[in-house]
Structure 1
Amino acid sequence: MAGAEGAAGRPSSELEPVVSLVDVLEEDEELENEACAVLGGSDSEKCSYSQGSVKRQALYACSTCTPEGEEPAGICLACSYECHGSHKLFELYTKRNFRCDCGNSKFKNLECKLFPEKAKINSGNKYNDNFFGLYCTCKRPYPDPEDEIPDEMIQCVVCEDWFHGRHLGAAPPESGDFQEMVCQGCMERCSFLWAYAPQLAVSRVAAEDEGLVSGDQEVTTPENGAHQDESRKEETAGQGKESVKETKAERTNEPGASSSSESGLQAASQKHLHPEAPAPSGCRLRDLQAQRPAQRDTATYWPPNWRSKLCACKDCLKMYSGLDVLFLTDEYDTVLAYENKGKVDQATEQRDPLMDTLSSMNRVQQVELICEYNDLKTELKDYLKRFADEGTVVKREDIQQFFEEFQSKKRRRVDGLQYYCS
């Protein structure tokens, strides 16, 4: 059939799938939103050093200036562009309470171009193996060319290291219905969190550890303190009621049994069935610890807003400060809050001007624009691939050079066309 073959006589099944410009623009918009979330509104032109220890920001480590064996250091987004554009960088995603190190004493032969008047060292900064491109308890790079197992990496909200899901002692919930993770090491150091885990955490729990089933079977259950054997509970309550009835009957048949003795017996029986709960101490953590929560050598997974349920009494706040985890009481410390801030800062109420322009064109103009766009996209992809292969950062000058060369090529193509009139 005539329609069975496409361009150049190739079968239509071998042709590349058709993607509309609208699809491309929507995909670009999604990628832009993700970038805004990661950057969190970070300034790409001004060094963040003047802001002090930034609450949370996108950071990078330069293995060219501070290779493994040297002191670790972190640089802000603007310095990654301006001062380390041709260097090999590790993207650290975000870190809390960090001040840009670019050009300080850790950088022996480099002076910051954006803010050279820096102190020799930032004593408040915290570092880990991430600053040398190593992650998890296995201390491997990411992506790891030697790791053939596809495994999502998750950041611990306390130490901010990244971990393979299979190295956390407890697999992430299959539903992914959690906001934050605390790794095994941080759960051991912040053992008070185990008191909250039965009520708040959402984890994949080995059933045999709980004595629920035998064998290797696993159950997935929210650790919310509601997992109880209801039948045993009802049986116990029933036996208690029968005991009260028998005792009451015996007392009623005794000579001289008074109403006061009956009421006293009833009160005693009710107290036996429903013992008074211990008086609250005023500290939620202390009340939960009185229930003797179990502790395991695993990570824990926590739902949204779990931080707001942590006790904020004077003693607990002092403990958080001593453990250097006072940030757990701050809902705005979460990565989710940081990402939302980035999206809000970059949001615009105006519609995309390119979409408006496209919709106002006729069919011929739309086709011409799409062809131009495809040429631009192909050449830009090939141009940026060189930087990705070399592990270098794309600077503003590189982008300007690309567009100058692209415009020059376009002019040569247009000037080379010949027009004939009949």
Structure 2
Amino acid sequence: MTEEQTVSLVDVLEEDEELEEEASAVLGGSDSDHCSYPQGYVKRQALYACNTCTPKGGEAAGVCLACSYKCHEGHDLFELYTKRNFRCDCGNKKFRDLQCKLYPEKDDSNSLNTYSHNFFGLYCTCSRPYPDPDDQEEDEMIQCVICEDWLHGRHLGCPVPDCVELQEMICEACMTRNPLLWAYAPHLDVPGAEVQVKEEAGGSKTNRLQKTEKADDVIRPTCKRRREEAELEPSCKLKALQATGRTGDQSGAAFWPSGWRSKLCTCGACKERLSEGGVAFLLDESDTVLAYENKGKNQEMQPAGHDPLMSALDNLNRVQQLEIIHGYNDMKSELKDFLQRFAAEGKVVTSDDIRQFFEQQQSRKRRRVDAQQLYRP
């Protein structure tokens, strides 16, 4: 007879809260009832790939949140987190016999969609599934903000900085495809910033002031002639950074701090280069996953429609409503006290413990009913 698997109460509560927050962030910004196809290429949305309908060896395809619920229930789905500028494929020619239940009038294909091995359940430069049953090494996976692939921390070619969840990562392959980003990296990426702080911390107050003034001189002309030149022709932040001669090691992924996109140059030439490289979205602060998640959380916090339970309560008289409310509050308070005892003693809660709690509740309720009948005039 095997022993019943148990976990600590603290672990259960923490995991439940974390899963709820993640679900609200990822799914809250997407519509769970209506196919997103009529909206065209949605700026960012939660996506899924169906291994049942489009297995490896066929054409890659992605479906929106609503279609994953309504059209692919019970199928083997790969959760893709979020993707940008994607139009739902559900029911088009890639799906053969399946027709979309929510929006069947679709074109045969969506030519502007971008696909990767993620749509077949493979990730990183190692092209492995996640979770990987053959990988015994614990390692976090981080999404590149350009190609949107997920990479193992050990395959990034550089150390993963602290507070990585507050930063954006661009993988080495995407940095190489967009070489102008290497010019920004020594000035904006997180490892470079940390090195600069450490260097300045060892110097005197005067040295730190001189370094600040020198950095400002690079961005803003200090002599009269350079001011006049700046007025005559549009300033280019990228050229100013390149003029410093400061270069970093052009290898490995780059990590960028919050707000780094606002520091990219927006002159005409730089915008054109970003557009040619297919990364013009880097100038858009609302393109970030963080902005999408915040939108989802805000939508989750908005008041929902009328609760059926509240409708039922409305049909009861005042005395019945108070009895139900008091009963619910009593049970919630007693359950909380019951569970807190386990947490305080570091014990685990088993199914037998929960069953015993509700049996005690039923027993108390019966005693209250019997007492009321006994003393009823």
- Tell me, in whole angstroms, the C-alpha distance in 1 between the residues paired with 2:132 and 2:33: 32
> What residue is the counterpart of 2:213 in the other structure?
none
Output one character per residue of 1:363-411: Cα deviation in whole Å (capped at 9) or x when no partner. 86558988xxxxxx97xxxxxxxxxxxxxxxxxxxxxxxxxxxxxxxxx
> What residue is the counterpart of 1:58 in the other structure?
46
- Tell me, in whole angstroms, the C-alpha distance in 1 between the residues paired with 2:201 and 2:186: 12
- Closer, same or farther in 2 for the Cα pair 1:30/1:96, shift >3 Å? same
- Tell me, in whole angstroms, the C-alpha distance in 1 between the residues paired with 2:76 and 2:126: 23
Structure 1 residue 298: deviation in Å?
Answer: 0.6
Output one character per residue of 1:75-128: Cα deviation in whole Å (capped at 9) or x when no partner. 001111111112100000000000000011111111111111000010110000
- Closer, same or farther in 2 for the Cα pair 1:172/1:325, shift >3 Å? same
> What residue is the counterpart of 1:321 in the other structure?
275
Is contact 2:144–2:170 with CA below 8 Å preserved after alignment? yes
Alignment of structure 1 residues 134-173 onto 2, 5 Å:
134-173=122-161
Tell me the C-alpha RMSD between the 2 structures.
4.1
Larger radius of gyration: 1
- Tell me, in whole angstroms, the C-alpha distance in 1 between the residues paired with 2:326 and 2:189: 53
2:88 corresponds to 1:100:
yes
TM-score by length of 2: 0.70
- Tell me, in whole angstroms, the C-alpha distance in 2 between the residues paired with 1:357 and 1:300: 60
Task: Kindly provide the amino acid, as one letter, of the partner of residue 120 in structure 2.
Answer: F
Q: Percent of aligned pairs with the same residue? A: 54
Q: Which has the higher helix share?
A: 2
Structure 1 residue 33: deviation in Å?
Answer: 2.9
2:252 paired residue among 286, 298, 301: 298
- Can you give the 5+ residue segments of structure 1 that lack an aligned partner in the other structure? 1-13, 206-219, 238-273, 371-376, 379-412
Is contact 2:185–2:248 with CA below 8 Å preserved after alignment? no
Is contact 1:202–1:302 with CA below 8 Å preserved after alignment? yes
1:130 paired residue among 114, 118, 131: 118
Alignment of structure 1 residues 158-237 onto 2, 5 Å:
158-176=146-164, 178-203=166-191, 221-222=194-195
Task: Kindly provide the amino acid, as one letter, of the partner of residue 59 in structure 2.
Answer: E
- Closer, same or farther in 2 for the Cα pair 1:47/1:296, shift >3 Å? same
- Tell me, in whole angstroms, the C-alpha distance in 2 between the residues paired with 1:184 and 1:367: 53
Is contact 1:200–1:224 with CA below 8 Å preserved after alignment? no
Is contact 1:156–1:163 with CA below 8 Å preserved after alignment? yes
SS of the counterpart of 2:85?
Answer: strand
> What residue is the counterpart of 1:361 in the other structure?
327
Structure 1 residue 45: deviation in Å?
Answer: 1.3
- Closer, same or farther in 2 for the Cα pair 1:160/1:319, shift >3 Å? same
- Closer, same or farther in 2 for the Cα pair 1:28/1:55, shift >3 Å? same
Once the two structures are overlaid, the 10-residue window that deviates more, 295-304 or 321-330, is 295-304
- Tell me, in whole angstroms, the C-alpha distance in 1 between the residues paired with 2:201 and 2:168: 26
- Can you give the 5+ residue segments of structure 2 that lack an aligned partner in the other structure? 211-222, 311-321, 337-349, 352-361
2:21 corresponds to 1:33:
yes
1:345 paired residue among 299, 321, 324: 299
- Tell me, in whole angstroms, the C-alpha distance in 1 between the residues paired with 2:45 and 2:149: 15
